[in-house]
Structures are given as C-alpha cells and as structure tokens.
Structure 1
Amino acid sequence: MSGQLQPLWLPKSPLVLASGSRTRAELLANAGLIAEVIKPAVNERAIEAAGTDLNPIDLACRLAKAKAKEVSDRYPGHITIGADQVLDVDGTVFHKAANLAEGANHLNLLQGRSHALHSAVAIVTDGSSEVFYDTARLTMRSLSSEAIAAYVLAAGETRVTSSVGGYQLEGLGIHLFERIEGDHSTVLGLPLLPLLAKLRAMGVLGIG
C-alpha cells in the first residue's frame, strides 16, 4: 500500500476500497477520496449459491460485506469499503454476460421493461461493520433485435461483458433507456451520498 493521504481524509491510515471496479475508485477520487484499491478474494457465485433464500437486496448486502471483511482482515486498522450491485428484474438476478451472444440475450430480456439496480455498501473497521444500500430503477426502451445487434457491435465485447445487464450507462448504454430514477452514483455501483453521510458521521472527513 502506498500510504497516500489527502487533506479531506483525516485518519492516518489510508481508506481502502475492496473492489476491482475502476468506476468505484474514480467515483471516490472525484469526491476527493483517494482509496487504496485491493481486489477481494471472494467467490461471489459461491456466496449466492449458499444464500438461495436471500432476496436481491439482501444478496447485494451480503456480497458487499463479504468483500469488505475479506480485505479488512488482511489490512487491519484501516477503514475498508466493500460494494456490490445486483440487477433485479421482478426478483430474478442477472449476472454479467459471458460473451456477446449472452449479452444480446440479456438486453432482449430487459428491453421494454423496468429493472432495479441495488447498490450495497459495507464499511468495515477491525470487526465492526455497517451495511446499507440504495436502489435505482431503470426503464429500457423497446428495442428491435436489429437495434440490440447494432448496440452490441458498437459497444464491443469488453463493455458488454464487463457490466451486469450488458450496458454501461456512462457510455453507449445511455442510448438504450427511456427513463432513469435514482442517483447516478447508485447506477454506477457506489451510492456516494449515503456513503459520505456515513463517513461524516464517523468523523473521518475534513468536510464535516
């Protein structure tokens, strides 16, 4: 860990982000918080398989906590943030597509419908934890198979398979939607407003 600090972050130990998501790290950085990014060694699908009784929100919260705890155990003395996002269509959870064909199929199932993005966050410090979530609702336009094929071709495999649902709202995915209800940072996977409120309450931010 580089130990890089900034005036906004008051603790001596750097903030740790337990996530492999560059988008989440950028959201924090844009808010003035440069986190040490540590990818958690967590088997998400195993956790999901063990929690078949969980609803999509509870699943997102359990995954976020598991990620934060795994990294916090390796880096004691730091405030660690874990996050996870679950795409929920009427109680059915979607995962990232394995390839372009599966991504196109996911988009076909989502088109003309509304779905929820549940973004959960866990803050863990040496055994103590707090978990919360925020939800955004997105309504996708009715799309023809030709329109979906054109989007998939334009977006490319990396973008289609790197995000649940096959789209990135901050990129070409914005063309797919007719309505978005919720905070932009929640859509991107890290609800900043409630997260910053929690950190202020902990007394760790220079802007109180």
Structure 2
Amino acid sequence: MEQALVTIPLTKLAIAFIPVVLVLLILARWSLPQKRTLHALVRMLVQLLLVGYVLSYLFASDNAWIIGSLLLVMVLFSTYIALNNIESPQKSLFSSAFLAIFISSFIVLFVITQGVLHLEPWHQAKTLVPLAGMVFANGMNSVSLCGERFYAELNRGEPYQKSRNIAFKASMIPNVNALFAVGIVSLPGMMTGQILAGVSPFIAARYQIMVMCMVFASAGLASAIFLVLNKAKPQ
C-alpha cells in the first residue's frame, strides 16, 4: 500500500531551517552582506504561509472574474520583477515586458489547459493557478535574462540583430540545461511532488514532460516577443 503524503507540523518544519542557518553563519563569518538574504528568507516564509490561506479560498471559489484578476496581478508582479535587472532608459519597457509575458503565457496556458488537460471549466483554480505560476515565472526569468543581455550588447555598440540573437540564446540557457538534466541530475518539482503524494512514477513522468514543454515554450516565446517589441524603439 502506498503511503500518503503526511502533513508537516510547524514544529517539524522549523527543522528545515537548520541548514539555512548554517549558510547565514557562513555569510556572517566571511563578512558578506546578509541583509538581502534575510529579507528574502522572511519574505519567502510570509508569502508562502499567506498564499496557503489565499489558495484555499480560491480553490473553493468558482468565480472566473476572481481567478482572472489573480492571474492579471501575477503577470503584473512578474513584469515588475523581470525589469529589476534591466538597465535601459526606455520608459515603455514595462509595456513590452508585460505584453511578452502575457501573450506567451496565454498561448502556452491555452494549449496546455484546453488541448492537453481539457480543463473544465477553464478557470478551475486548483489546476490553472499552479500552472500559470510556472509559466509566469519562466516568462519573467527569460525576459529578465534576455533584456539584461540585450541592452548590454547594444551599449557595447552591437547591431540589433546580433544583440537579439545573443540575448535570446542567453535567456534559453537555463531551460536547455534543464532539458538535459531532467531525470538524470534532477527530478523537477511537479514530478517530485506527485511521487511524494503517492502517484505512480509513470504518470508523474507524463505530467513532468508536459511541464517541461510548457516552461521551455513560455520562456522562448516571452524572450522572442520582448526582443521583437523592442526592435523599433530608440536606444
């Protein structure tokens, strides 16, 4: 009989922070900045605890407007975070980054939820929200990587086409590496979670293949759209 995934008590969850504290001690011992790391850890803890309550409400809701509004907010935050590492004088960069993430995510989510999963209704939060989070995150990272490299190349005096190609290739490195490593070096999040929950590894592998295609496509499309939208803008 397969063992069901147990609920982790908060007291046990605290044990997971022991190796985290070791890393913080290393930072302190080596006189490295700790403020940003501590801020990130506290923010992660608060955000994930809060999102548990929010998602519990959303999963019980059948309101398409609420789900749609949540997805829009997720795209807006993804766009804002993606631009943190991009240095450019363009005031319209936010709109191109937003459109890149939004359009690429819509294409990928439509194909996956309606073509692969046949999600009914389309706004079924328990499935749509986690998948959308993966797609938005990959689009965000891809736009951030390609944007940073794109403007770095332009500032070096490279022409648009060469800058575009270099930036696109750089933005796809993490996803291409993930394709090589999956199943050999790592078992990604969805597959690991399903196996821990007692799902057959054969079924979990199918879902992971779907996810790998989904994140690869969302990253590539987001980068391409962002680069194309910034072609005609003055540098």
Structure with bigger gyration radius: 2
Structure with a larger share of its residues in strand: 1
Relative to the length of structure 1, the TM-score reads: 0.26
Greater length-normalized contact order (CA 8 Å, ≥ 6 residues apart): 2
Relative to the length of structure 2, the TM-score reads: 0.23
